[in-house]
Amino acid sequence: MKRPKETCHLGKSSGHHQVAMTNEYSYIHEHLETLYFISKEFNCKSILEIGTGDGDSTLAFLESLYDREIYNGLISVDINPKCKGRKVIEERQMENGVHWITADSLKLDIQGKFDLIFIDGDHGEEVVTKEIIKYAPMVKKGGWLILHDFTNPAYNIFKSYCSWIFKGYPNYDC
Ligand SMILES: C[S@@+](CC[C@H](N)C(=O)[O-])C[C@H]1O[C@@H](n2cnc3c(N)ncnc32)[C@H](O)[C@@H]1O
């Protein structure tokens, strides 16, 4: 499969995970091909998405799973039960392929390991830092942790990434 032209800084490795972060000031639509590509190319069978939102990334993951005839591989979490994405996926009659969870990502009680975890929820530095601490260990060895708008100065969360990937678990002072 040909790698998509744009988008993430791919392939940074924490030793256990591959980490991708999307470009500054980007729209999710610029990355859907990449999300699909990573999921499919690396044969990700279990995916956890934080932030269903409008369902664009949800659909990219679902399509990559359906293309491999995997119909129970995606969990999508949003704090808002009325987020548009659920309706979008229902309209496409793909809702059976995703398990919806309404929860705050930091309060969610979830176990297990995933081939791919996509973080696209709150975006604030403190929350994202905590999300990284919570969810990075749930990525299978060799799996993917993907963060949207991660290097966007408007969200100021690049520091969280650096703290985690280069110095072990985040240190709020660094
Ligand atoms: C930028 S949108 C996600 C976009 C989505 N990935 C897409 O492709 O359409 C962010 C979503 O995260 C949700 N969210 C914000 N904070 C959250 C939290 N702490 N836990 C879970 N979801 C959260 C919001 O309700 C919103 O729907």
Ordered per-residue pLDDT tens for the chain, 174 residues: 554 444 444 445 555 666 666 655 567 777 898 899 999 999 999 999 999 999 999 999 999 999 999 999 999 999 999 999 999 999 999 999 999 999 999 999 999 999 999 999 998 878 888 888 899 889 898 888 888 876 666 666 666 666 666 555 543 332
Q: In this structure, what token pair is assigned to residue 82? A: 């009325």
Residues with CB under 6 A from ligand 1: 28, 50-57, 77-80, 83, 85, 104-106, 120-122, 127
pLDDT attached to residue 146: 86
What does pTM read for this prediction? 0.87
pLDDT for the residue 2: 53
Q: Which domains does the chain have, with CATH numbers?
A: 12-167 (3.40.50.150)
Edge to edge, what strands does the sheet with 139-147 contain? 9-13, 18-21, 139-147, 114-119, 47-50, 74-78, 98-102
Nearest protein CA to atom 3 of ligand 1, as residue = 53
Pocket test for ligand 1, best of 59, 80, 152 (most atoms within 8 A of CB): 80
From the alpha carbon of 58, which atom of ligand 1 is closest? 8
Predicted pLDDT of residue 124 = 81
| Minimum CA distance residue for ligand 1 atom 27 | 53
Count the helices and strands in the chain (H runs, E runs): 5, 7
- Closest alpha carbon to 9 in 152, 109, 169: 152
Name the residue of 29, 35, 61, 78 to mutate for ligand 1: max ligand atoms within 8 A of Cβ.
78
Q: In the 8-state DSSP scheme, what is residue 97? A: G
Dist CA 70 CA 145 (whole Å): 20
Report the C-alpha gap between 18 and 25 in whole angstroms. Answer: 22
Give dist(CA 16, CA 55) in Å, integer: 28
